[in-house]
Amino acid sequence: MSESATATEAPPQPQGKRTHENPQVKNLRIKTGVVRRLLKEKISYEDQSIKDREKVNELKSKDAPKSELEHFQDILTETLRMIPDAQRRMKTYFQELKTIVDTQESSLKDLPGGQAELDAAKAVLAEAEPHTTN
């Protein structure tokens, strides 16, 4: 390819760049992403608490030094404190997303990109729903 051919080509659009996206569709996409991220965060804290608890139990069984055991107990305590906060935030945004889907579905599905975002939102809601109960 010659230099002149590359100089006249339009630069490629960045991946994920949405130009002239309808504000309703954009709001739905953003809320879906927030719920997805918060669900992932909550699950991550739960998984980490299991690992931290196993580490504390391992240290107890090995009669580890008291300072080391206390350090890992503090880590476990902090991780356990984060789970209710992550769940509370996820439940808040879950409810917001559910309200948007329930009240705006008919108008969103007719907008460009709206049906795809609705499908994504419904999938995230289905995945997150079991995690909204205590």
> pLDDT, tens digit, for every residue of 5-48?
444 554 454 455 556 888 999 999 999 999 999 999 999 999 99
- pLDDT bin (cut points 50, 70, 90) of residue 120 is very high
- pLDDT bin (cut points 50, 70, 90) of residue 132 is confident
Lowest mean pLDDT among 16-30, 42-56, 79-93: 16-30
Structure-derived torsion over alpha carbons of residues 67, 70, 71, 77, reported in degrees to the nearest 10: -170
In the chain, the domains with their CATH numbers are 23-132 (1.20.58.90)
Query: What DSSP character marks residue 129?
Result: G
Residue 16 falls in which region: left (phi positive, over 0), alpha (psi -120 to 50) or beta = left
pTM of the model: 0.78
- d(CA 20, CA 33) in angstroms, rounded, equals 19
**62 pLDDT higher than 80:** yes
Query: What DSSP character marks residue 11?
Result: P
Radius of gyration of the CA atoms of the chain, in A: 23
10 Å CB burial of residue 76 (0-12, 13-18, 19+) is buried
